[in-house]
Chains A and B, each alone.
Chain A
Amino acid sequence: MSGILAVLEQRDGALHRMSLEALAAAQQFGAELHLPVFAAVLGHGVEPVAQALANYDIQKIHAIDHELLAAYTPDGYTIALKQLIESHRAGYVVFPHTYQVRDFAPKLATALDRVLIGDVIGHRVDDGALVLVRQLFQGKINADLRFEGEPPYFASIQAGAFRADSLRSGTAKVETITPDLKAEQIRTKPLELFRESQRAVNLGAAEIIVSVGRGIKEAANIPIVQKLADALGAELAGSRPVCDTGWLPMERQVGSSGQTVAPKLYLAVGISGAIQHLVGMKGSKTIVAINKDPEAPIFEVADYGIVGDLFEVVPALIEALNEG
Chain B
Amino acid sequence: MKIVVAIKQVPSRDSQLRIGGAAATWIEEGDLAYEINEPDAYALESGLQLKEKLTGEVVVLCAGPERASQTIREALAKGADRAIHIETDQPGSSDPLALARMMAKALASEKPDLILTGLQSDDLGYGQTGVILAEVMGLPHASIVMNVEAAGSGIKVKRELEDGWFQHVKMPLPALLTIQSGATKLRYATLMGIKKAKTKEVRRVPAAELAAPAQPSITLDRIYMPEKTKQSQIFDGTAKEAAAKLVDKLRFEARVL
- Identify the A interface with B (CB < 8 A): 74-75, 98-100, 102-104, 106-107, 109-111, 113-119, 131, 134-149, 187-197, 199, 208, 232, 240-241, 244-245, 250-251, 256-259, 264-265, 272, 285-289, 293-295, 297, 299-309, 312-313, 315-317, 319-321, 324
Contacts and interface: CB of A to CB of B under 8 A. Distances in A.
B152 to A, nearest CB: 11
B162 A99 contact: yes
A231 B75 CA distance: 45
Nearest 3 pairs between A and B by C-beta? A244-B182, A316-B243, A187-B140
A305 B233 contact: yes
Given A300-B228, A320-B247, A137 B123 contact: yes
Nearest to A321: B247
Name which of B19, B162, B220, B221 has the most chain A CB atoms within 10 A of its CB.
B162
Given A146-B221, A304-B250, A320-B246, A98 B162 contact: yes
Given A264-B256, A316-B239, 18 more contacts: A98-B162, A99-B160, A102-B143, A102-B144, A110-B135, A143-B222, A145-B219, A146-B218, A193-B166, A265-B250, A285-B254, A288-B250, A300-B230, A302-B232, A303-B230, A304-B232, A316-B238, A317-B243
A11 B240 CA distance: 50
A299 B244 CA distance: 19
Nearest to A147: B218
A99 B238 CA distance: 42
B234 A306 contact: yes
Interface stretch (B57-65, B107-115, B126-134, B194-202): B126-134
B97 to A, nearest CB: 5
A320 B162 CA distance: 38
A152 to B, nearest CB: 10
B127 A188 contact: no
A289 B122 CA distance: 22
Contact of B215 (A136, A146, A148, A258): A148
Nearest to A143: B223
A303 B134 contact: no
B29 to A, nearest CB: 12
A52 B98 CA distance: 40
A257 B181 CA distance: 12
21 contacts: A74-B142, A103-B144, A106-B132, A107-B135, A111-B135, A115-B96, A118-B128, A119-B125, A136-B223, A138-B125, A143-B223, A191-B168, A196-B166, A208-B256, A265-B254, A304-B249, A307-B234, A317-B243, A317-B247, A319-B240, A321-B257
B171 interface: yes
Please classify the interface of chain A as helix (H, G, I), strand (E, B), loop, or mixed, using the class held by over half of its residues. Answer: mixed
B123 A324 contact: no
Interface of B: 11, 13-17, 19, 27, 95-97, 100, 122-128, 131-132, 134-136, 140-144, 160-172, 181-183, 215-226, 228-230, 232-235, 238-240, 242-244, 246-247, 249-251, 254, 256-257
B16 A148 contact: no
Contacts of B15: 137
A8 B233 CA distance: 39
Nearest to B251: A324
Contacts of A192: 167-168
B233 A141 contact: no
A194 B171 contact: no
Contacts of B122: 137-138
Contacts of B220: 143-145
Given A107-B131, A188-B169, A304-B249, A74 B240 contact: no
Given A107-B132, A194-B165, A137 B222 contact: no
Contact of B167 (A98, A102, A146, A191): A191
Nearest to B226: A142
A316 B242 contact: yes
B240 to A, nearest CB: 5
A258 B164 contact: yes
Given A118-B126, A136-B125, A319-B240, A148 B14 contact: no
Nearest to A318: B243
